[in-house]
């Protein structure tokens, strides 16, 4: 597809399948695509795989750089958009619309009869979904308990049993003496250390 930038240039993009060679560019596009949204701190360092019959689409610029991406998983019914992002420098050029059109056609060829997209309360993203014909229905909350925001939040979340709150991600501090035990229990453990030098 060719897009009139409104200036002296015309930009061409290709909607195609993701290939392993796109990974670095895909990850960068995702980070920057999410940076000004309600998913700003959702960062992947390795492309999450999508298994067949799901699919992974990208909108690639003339030099092959990923300018937009859309992943769909198909696990019975419905098909679900796992990730959609257009790089901020390439927005409002129809890339999101073109990616979705291709995704809709491909999803329709699977067993799925519905295309779901779960997203947060980011105004521009909501506007796009509505403009693309999605109808809004079920809602639930994403809640972060962050001591760097308010020291009391994590304690408030887990100090007592709260059946109304389901833990999904917790960020915890522990003593170095617990390292061996905690590394057996948790996949991601970092040793945070102080560096200092005299002034
Ligand atoms: C939503 C998103 C994918 C849209 O991509 P895009 O390529 O910029 O959108 P398109 O150019 O296809 O827009 C199609 C239509 O959607 C509407 N739209 C899109 N972005 C809009 C915005 N910021 N404000 C108002 N309307 C908007 C318009 O009607 C637009 O048509 P128009 O430009 O002819 O007026 C992009 O803004 C994005 O990556 N947002 C972050 C995504 C995100 O939060 N993902 C997390 C959930 S997985």
Determine the pLDDT at residue 181: 96
The reply to whether ligand 1 has any atom less than 6 angstroms from the CB of 104 is no
Give the pair of three-digit tokens for residue 39. Answer: 């998913």
* d(C-alpha 121, C-alpha 138), whole Å: 13
Q: Which atom of ligand 1 is nearest to the CA of 117?
A: 48
| pLDDT tens digits, 137-182 | 999 999 999 999 999 999 999 888 899 999 998 999 999 999 999 9
Span 50-66, average pLDDT: 97
pTM over 0.85: yes
Give the pair of three-digit tokens for residue 112. Answer: 């799925």
Q: Which residues pair with 81 in a beta bridge?
A: 72, 117
The reply to whether ligand 1 has any atom less than 6 angstroms from the CB of 13 is no
Q: Which atom of ligand 1 is nearest to the CA of 125?
A: 1
Q: Which atom of ligand 1 is nearest to the CA of 93?
A: 11
Which domains are present in the chain? 2-131 (3.40.630.30), 143-199 (no CATH)
Determine the pLDDT at residue 94: 97
* d(C-alpha 34, C-alpha 30), whole Å: 6
| pLDDT tens digits, 8-39 | 555 799 999 999 999 999 999 999 999 999 99
The reply to whether ligand 1 has any atom less than 6 angstroms from the CB of 117 is no
The reply to whether ligand 1 has any atom less than 6 angstroms from the CB of 73 is no
CA-nearest residue for atom 33, ligand 1, is 92
Question: Which region holds residue 101: left if phi is over 0, alpha if psi is between -120 and 50, else beta?
Answer: alpha
């Amino acid at each position: 597809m060719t897009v009139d930038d409104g200036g002296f240039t015309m930009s061409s993009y290709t909607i195609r399948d993701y290939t392993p060679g796109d990974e670095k560019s895909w990850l960068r596009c995702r980070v920057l695509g999410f940076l000004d949204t309600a998913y700003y701190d959702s960062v992947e360092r390795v492309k999450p795989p999508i298994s067949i019959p799901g699919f992974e689409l990208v909108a690639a610029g003339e030099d092959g750089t990923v300018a937009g991406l859309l992943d769909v998983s198909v696990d019975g019914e419905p098909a679900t958009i796992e990730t959609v992002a257009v790089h901020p420098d390439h927005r409002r050029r129809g890339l999101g619309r073109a990616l979705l059109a291709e995704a809709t056609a491909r999803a329709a060829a699977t067993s799925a009869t519905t295309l779901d997209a779960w997203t947060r309360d980011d105004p521009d993203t909501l506007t796009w979904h509505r403009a693309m014909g999605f109808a809004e229905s079920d809602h639930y909350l994403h809640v972060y308990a962050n001591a760097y925001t308010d020291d009391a939040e994590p304690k408030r979340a887990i100090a007592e049993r709260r059946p109304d709150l389901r833990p999904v991600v917790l960020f915890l501090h522990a003593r170095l003496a617990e390292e061996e035990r905690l590394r057996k229990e948790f996949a991601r453990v970092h040793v945070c250390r102080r560096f200092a030098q005299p002034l």
